[in-house]
Structure 1
């Protein structure tokens, strides 16, 4: 009897065949583009972020025009980070009615009503010390911070945000946000919780972009230990119990095992954040000619979706859309 073996190459022979049998597909609706909006006397300012080639701190007018061009290529959703003129110990500009993110939300929703605007809810960009909560005796205080995180989320919802996304990693913040939103008539606003957020070295470029480097210590007392997996399941369970509508894993590529664990355990929507360090490593290697940046970006994003992400926050989003490399639907 003639020996038979599996001929997997039959389905790989041509691009048409490969596309026909492709198991994981990226579309524009899978991707969210983060933006850094800068409070500045010149609203048209565009300040390059040195460690993130092609990314900028944008004044309010510059943000609107940048998003306009991206929307024309198929951009469907954005995530906003704010950089205020003034910072203080309580991060008061995070929840100010005329804070820079609040202004940006109103401008974007008025200009692009169908655009999904997600806001990062945290204090680190707004505090003079760079931590995500209030400080007492050199320690980040959990419970006193919850009120300010909740007020920040409410101010974003009042400004028109479609989704709020708390990233501070204070215990109980999802419950605090859900409570204040529901009581103030915003029960329709969903929460994407940065539920499983690690104290990662991959955030380095972001801290330049958001001007949020801590002035002392680090964030390991409130962000997760990079060695822990089971703890991530506990964090995810807690946030769902508190009212989160979707969960996020951050960073993405170094934690695909965590993302897969959550996908197998929970039926809720899952997001993953391809963070600044992931983006900048690809860009830096591409500058040296060591790899193709677009092919690598697509491969890494496909891996993140294959692991279980329904939504991916990525700085490559607009670049891929401009090059028409992913379908709109």
Structure 2
């Protein structure tokens, strides 16, 4: 006698009934890149279908997203002026604070998350205030600024804060800052295990955030380290993070599963720009069935243990899931 696994695969309805992992539009967060001006919607050459948008265009985009069942966005800012400390990110009239107020006024039902970092706002492209002697980010001074930035975003209407700079102690600093300012109800989705990855290349085109010197290996994680990856997320959980995250996703399925088994907190993954662009370029070359590979990839993140997927594919995936 041998097992007859195929019995459950013959009828399409039965295949659906026994399916273990399911994707829905509710699984996705869609990234938006905001810059000043009006009527601006500039497609990024390295990321087909992804745009830098002015706030008015982002407001329109939210309407389109909601029609697809996508009701969560994460905002990234592209300021007009950058300086050594990222002052625009600390200003209540900065690009993200202004975008928050206008998007929430037009779409109060939309879950609006803000990426909390300084790389898009500094003239050197690093994720905080530099320590000149070490030529890297000064961890503890940057913690103070992260708390200030979080409060600015919360006052402007952010529903959730997502710190991405991989500073030691960032969750403690942000949580204490928010709580003392009267925002104890605002959750934190931490980029808790973020690797120093080559998969981020196209993001730096759209966010205009490439470092002007060196790289970010002194604060982002070594891709070779699995045990440390788990410890990073568990430390952010201990400090008070409400949701953990692994970034990138595709080359780190083992890490997603490890953290899923180590923590009961909700787990997000960031399906990053390089992962997105690879599929787009492969589709353009005609070497893959783009829609099938995209959906198989997204399903793989969910199967590995992700509850939430931040992805530039979200609109295309939602259309397929809704049968449009």
> In structure 2, which of residues 115, 118, 124 is the aligned counterpart of residue 123 of structure 1?
118
Q: Which residue of 2 is the match for residue 277 of structure 1?
A: 274
- Distance in 2 between residues matched to 1:184 and 1:293, nearest whole Å: 47
**Partners in 2 of 1:192 and 1:69 — Cα distance?**
25
CA distance, structure 1, for counterparts of residue 232 and residue 110 of structure 2:
30
| Equivalent-residue separation in structure 2 for 1:31 and 1:48 (angstroms) | 21
CA shift digits 1:80-105 (9 cap, x unpaired): 00000000000010121011111111
Q: Is structure 2 residue 264 aligned with structure 1 residue 267?
A: yes
Question: Is the Cα contact below 8 Å between 2:24 and 2:321 reproduced in 1?
Answer: no
Which residue matches 1:49?
A: 44
1:64 is matched with 59
1:200 aligned to which of 197, 201, 221: 197
Counterpart for residue 173 of structure 1? 170
Distance across 2 between alignment mates of 1:224 and 1:265: 18
Equivalents in 2 of 1:234, 1:223: separation in Å?
A: 14
Q: 4+ runs of 1 displaced by more than 6 Å?
A: none
Residue among 171, 177, 182 paired with 2:179: 182
d(CA) in 2 for partners of 1:140, 1:36 = 24
Aligned equivalents of 1:277 and 1:291: distance in 2? Answer: 16
Residue in structure 1 matching 2:244, options 230, 244, 247: 247
Instruction: Output the CA distance in 1 between the equivalents of 2:278 and 2:213.
Output: 26
1:79 to 65, 74, 83: 74
- Tell me the CA shift for residue 74 of structure 1: 1.3
Q: Secondary structure at the match of 1:194?
A: coil
Say whether the 8 Å CA contact 2:162–2:191 is kept in structure 1: yes
CA contact (8 A) 2:190 2:244 kept: yes
Aligned partners of 1:192, 1:317: CA distance in 2, in Å? 19
Q: Does 1:112 align with 2:110?
A: no
Displacement after TM superposition at 1:326 (Å): 4.8
Instruction: Point out where structure 2 has 5 or more consecutive residues left out of the alignment.
Output: none
Aligned match of 1:162: 159
Shift of 1:68: 1.1
**SS at 1:54's partner residue?**
strand
Paired residue secondary structure (1:313)? strand
Structure 1: how far apart are the matches of 2:18 and 2:248? 29
Aligned counterparts, 1:272-311, within 5 A: 272-311=269-308
Tell me what 2:321 maps to: 325
Give, in whole Å, the separation in 1 of the partners of 2:139 and 2:122: 15
The aligned counterpart of 1:32 is: 29
* TM-score, scaled relative to structure 1: 0.96
Q: Indicate if the aligned counterparts of 1:190 and 1:245 stay in contact, CA closer than 8 A.
A: yes
1:214 corresponds to 2:211: yes
CA distance in 2, matches of 1:110, 1:324: 30
CA contact (8 A) 1:26 1:326 kept: no
Aligned residues: 321
Shift of 1:29: 1.1
Shift of 1:50: 0.7
Aligned-partner SS, 1:55: strand
